Amino acid sequence: MQNTKPAIPSARPSRSRDFKVLPRDPISVGSKFLPFHTPEIGTEEIQSVVETLQSGWLTTGQKVKRFETDFARYIGCQHAVAVNSGTAALHLALDAVGVQEGDEVIVPTMTFTATAEVVLYFKAKPVLVDCEPDTFNIDPLDIERKITAKTKAIIPVHMAGQSCNMDRIMEIARRHKLKVIEDAAHALPSRFNGKMIGTIGDVTCFSFYVTKPIATGEGGMAVTDNLEWAERMRVMSLHGISKDAWKRYTNEGSWFYEVQFPGFKYNLTDIAAALGIEQLKKCDRFWQARKQIAAAYDEGFAAVPEIQRPVCAAYSQHAWHLYVIQLETERLRINRAEFITALKNQGIGTSVHFIPLHLHPYYRDTFDYKPDDFPNATAAYDRIISLPIYPKMTADDISRVIDAVQSIVLEYRR
């Protein structure tokens, strides 16, 4: 191998001189596989769940109410509606703002299918938009290009936990009379120009899926300052039954209820809320831990020209839900998929966020999308890898990731 490039300094000064390629087989390294993610569940969460189980109230009840109140206070918004997934929150949000059959909803191609799938629930059309080449957030210029007379709403996704440019998106939305439903599955806690994500758009949706900044296994929250939408989401989350249907088995409740709309079964359980209440208390600590890992990665890859680090916009307080590196593949003799395999061989779990929607068979074939329709997302897809970033990681874990990335670059650089 031609090696005219400067040597990569190790993340740990003590190893800077004996920097070497690690053995390939993780078992022979003797260290365990480092998963892409594991949630941090402490005794507080376990205790809280046990108490809930002992209380006999397992489904939606006081714990859910408490989780909603705590969450609204944390975000600084008026209303929080707890549901059983982030996808459910997005679905209810679109329903609340009045999306209907035949409407178009603007969705970034660089996202998880849930963001676009919920649009299809209404027989509306998800209109995909390219991402910015650096932040991977939805490109406001491409939003403008895709707006038609049928457009009803925009769903910006705060990719990896970095807020979109909400001033530009809100300005476009208001000018065209569109609703803004923020997909904040990654964005807890994130800020745009100091404003908490959850206080800007019309409705903002969070996810508590196991890999997310706080986890309840499955769960989600829709937040808004609009009382009417909050009530609609609450009613629709529980079969479209009249207000506070969940109380009908309590002292305060009544046997009588009325079905007002054909709703959904999206309510969160008290068991999940018991987890959520305790996780939320740790949200800032988790964020600080992720921030430190991101800083360590930034430092570890600073002198590795083959690795492009995440670009942080000045207006964003990044939640660091994900740390997405971009490979300068033209400088390497392996491609992104092979790089992931090489990391796996060194015992490091990774992921890819995201396989852009336009490359998936369903969206490609149904809407006839071509890779060139979304040049930034298509180009990014071949280069991105999400590295492990979660509070449970030890200093050794972080160093292992940095060393593994560096060693693979050294082995395969052109």
Ligand X SMILES: Cc1ncc(COP(=O)(O)O)c(C=O)c1O
109 lies in the site for ligand X, by CB under 6 A:
no
The nearer residue to ligand X, 67 or 301, going by C-beta atoms, is 67
Of 10, 85, 137, 267, the residue at the interface with ligand X (CB under 6 A) is 85
Active-site hit among 32, 65, 212, 265: 212
Binders of ligand X in range 345-404 (CB under 6 A): none
Total interface residues for ligand X by CB under 6 A: 14
Q: Are 308 and 315 in contact (CB under 8 A)?
A: no
The nearer residue to ligand X, 209 or 246, going by C-beta atoms, is 209
The nearer residue to ligand X, 143 or 398, going by C-beta atoms, is 143
The nearer residue to ligand X, 10 or 115, going by C-beta atoms, is 115
Distance of closest approach, residue 112 Cβ to ligand X, in angstroms: 4
Residue 212 annotated among the catalytic residues of the structure: yes
Distance of closest approach, residue 303 Cβ to ligand X, in angstroms: 31
183 lies in the site for ligand X, by CB under 6 A:
yes
> Distance (Å, rounded) from C-alpha 164 to C-alpha 182?
10
209 lies in the site for ligand X, by CB under 6 A:
yes
Give the residue nearest to ligand X (CB): 86
Spatial CA neighbour of 190 closest among 169, 221, 165, 220? 165
Listed ranges 84-92, 324-332, 341-349, 406-414: which one lies at the site for ligand X (CB under 6 A) = 84-92
The nearer residue to ligand X, 60 or 84, going by C-beta atoms, is 84
Binders of ligand X in range 138-177 (CB under 6 A): 157
Distance of closest approach, residue 343 Cβ to ligand X, in angstroms: 21
Listed ranges 109-117, 229-237, 294-302, 332-340: which one lies at the site for ligand X (CB under 6 A) = 109-117
The nearer residue to ligand X, 86 or 140, going by C-beta atoms, is 86
Of 207, 267, 279, 386, the residue at the interface with ligand X (CB under 6 A) is 207
> Distance (Å, rounded) from C-alpha 87 to C-alpha 185?
9
Listed ranges 146-154, 178-186, 221-229, 308-316: which one lies at the site for ligand X (CB under 6 A) = 178-186
Listed ranges 32-40, 82-90, 169-177, 401-409: which one lies at the site for ligand X (CB under 6 A) = 82-90
> Distance (Å, rounded) from C-alpha 283 to C-alpha 273?
15
Of 48, 52, 109, 115, the residue at the interface with ligand X (CB under 6 A) is 115
Distance of closest approach, residue 130 Cβ to ligand X, in angstroms: 16
- The residue ranges that bind ligand X (CB under 6 A) are 85-87, 111-112, 114-115, 157, 183, 185-186, 207, 209, 220
Which residues are known to be catalytic?
Answer: 212
